[in-house]
Amino acid sequence: MASMAEFKQVIVVRKDLGMGLGKIAAQVAHAAVMGAERTREKNPQLFKSWMAEGQAKVVVRVGSLEELLEIRRQAETLHLSIAQVQDSGLTQIPPGTVTCLALGPVKSELVDKITSKLKLL
């Protein structure tokens, strides 16, 4: 998952929930917006650099909540910006279900330390 972009956002999606493609797309969109807003508030210069570079995003998958939470723990250790999405439960899955996690936008070299071995969605 090497990237040419200096900055990127990585969204980690749980594949064990059986979400349909539309549901996954909506959850990824929630994560992308939440993560971008969080970064814009906490690190405006990084956000501006990411925006100017084209807002690179990579979507990867994990097979369980435990895997997703381990990625989160690693991201917290590196002090990455994190946005965790919990579904409202109106359609396919129960309320409060954690569906995905946005890391960044952040420097690519940092996020790659914990996500480079994950498979693309």
Structural domains of the chain, with CATH:
7-115 (3.40.1490.10)
Distance CA 3, CA 99 (A): 25
pTM: 0.93
Based on C-alpha coordinates, what's the Rg of the chain?
Answer: 14
Residues present in the chain in total: 121
82 alpha carbon, distance to own chain's centre: 7
> What tens-digit pLDDT sequence spans the chain (121 residues)?
444 789 999 999 999 999 999 999 999 999 999 999 999 999 999 999 999 999 999 999 999 999 999 999 999 999 999 999 999 887 889 999 999 999 999 999 999 999 999 999 9
Helix ranges (H only) for 19-118 are 21-42, 44-53, 65-77, 108-115
Cis peptide before 95 (omega within 30 of 0): no
